[in-house]
Amino acid sequence: MTVTEPLVVHVVPMRRRHLRSVLRIEALVYPRPWSQSLFLSELALRGSRAYFVARIGRDVVGYAGLMLTGEDGHVTTIAVDPAQHRRKVGTRLLLVLAREALARRARNLTLEVRLSNHGAQDLYRRFGFVPVGVRKNYYQETNEDALVMWAHDIDTPDYAAMLSALERAVPGETRYEERRR
């Protein structure tokens, strides 16, 4: 019988050294991937952006980003290496984005997701996101519409309890590295 080690995922602030791995995943999951220069420009906006990567061992297996404007946090991107799907990497990344938004005094979260991406929509619904509209042809490379979703009042005890319950349900261990302010 083989004993498998429990899964340990490290979620750390994205740094320049992670970009080669991030761009590899970006090319796997998006028809029109972001460029290195776009990621670098986002990383430079430390006051209004926060980007994180998820690592298993030394391998980057996912990443996510957040833009803050006033009381709103906007999930700019979230992606997981297809070989790592179903290991709750996306859940871990969304947890860190929600907590970062709260640390920066956001009251709401928003995002756009492809209408065809039901798996991602299910994840977002678990985090309290609800559909509020559709952006026609948002994804120009495929002429696909985006579903706009919002999670309101994330700064309440009920939302904190929901985040804690989601975190408890994640198998294995997640180790978070604090972001340098």
Q: What pLDDT score was predicted for residue 32?
A: 86
Cα–Cα distances in angstroms (integers) from residue 101 to residues 57, 81, 82, 83, in the given order: 27, 24, 26, 28
Average pLDDT, the chain: 93
Mean pLDDT value across residues 27-56: 95
51, 93 contact by CB (below 8 A): no
pLDDT level of residue 134 (50, 70, 90 thresholds) = very high
pTM of the predicted model over 0.75: yes
**Residue 167 known to be catalytic:** no
**Does pLDDT of 142 surpass 90?**
no
**Does pLDDT of 181 surpass 90?**
no
**Does pLDDT of 13 surpass 60?**
yes
**Does pLDDT of 169 surpass 80?**
yes
* Identity of residue 181: R
pLDDT level of residue 65 (50, 70, 90 thresholds) = very high
Judged by DSSP in three states, 129 sits in: coil
Of 112, 138, 141, 177, the active-site residue reads 112
Of 124, 138, 141, 176, the active-site residue reads 124
Q: What pLDDT score was predicted for residue 6?
A: 80
**Residue 124 known to be catalytic:** yes
The share of the chain scoring above pLDDT 90, in percent, equals 84
Residue 155 φ/ψ region, left for φ over 0, alpha for ψ in the -120 to 50 degree band, beta for the rest: alpha
For residue 86, the number of C-alpha atoms closer than 13 Å in the C-beta half-sphere is 1
Angle between helices 118-126 and 89-103 (to 10 degrees): 50
Instruction: Give the tokens for residue 174.
Output: 């997640």
pLDDT level of residue 3 (50, 70, 90 thresholds) = low
51, 26 contact by CB (below 8 A): no
Q: Mind listing the domains of the chain with CATH numbers?
A: 8-170 (3.40.630.30)
CA trace torsion 127, 81, 54, 64 (10° rounding): -50
